[in-house]
Amino acid sequence: MLSTAAAFDAELVAAAANPALRTVIESMGAVGHARCLRGIAIKGDAAMHVGKRQLKAHREILAAIVQQDAHAVECRLRDQVLTSLDLLFELDE
């Protein structure tokens, strides 16, 4: 799921052509990937739940993009970033 999430993020950055969004996503990816792998190794099945939650969030972002609802896209992206940060810290516990 991590590779799917990373591919989604890369496509989102390319489509948006937004330097601020690129910076946020790339910085989270640089910090988060190793932590996620470590968390998955430690938490096992619980990590699968996290992955499914993230996949659902990506689907919601994509749906908002397809509907051309800029406000919904912004809200879903903000939620996704904050949730991702929470998960990164949670994986260390």
Q: Where are the domains of the chain?
A: 2-91
Q: Provide the pLDDT for residue 43.
A: 64
User: What is the length of the chain?
Assistant: 93
Contacts with 84 (C-beta within 8 Å, 6 or more apart), sequence order: 28, 32, 54
Q: Provide the pLDDT for residue 30.
A: 66
What does each of the 93 residues of the chain score in pLDDT, given as a tens digit? 567 777 888 888 888 778 887 887 777 766 666 666 666 666 666 667 777 777 888 899 889 988 989 899 889 888 888 877 777 666 555
Collapse the DSSP code of 92 into the 3-class scheme (helix H, G, I; strand E, B; otherwise coil) and give the result: coil
- Amino acid present at 55: L
Q: Provide the pLDDT for residue 22.
A: 81
Phi-psi region of 44 (alpha: psi -120 to 50; beta: other; left: phi over 0): left
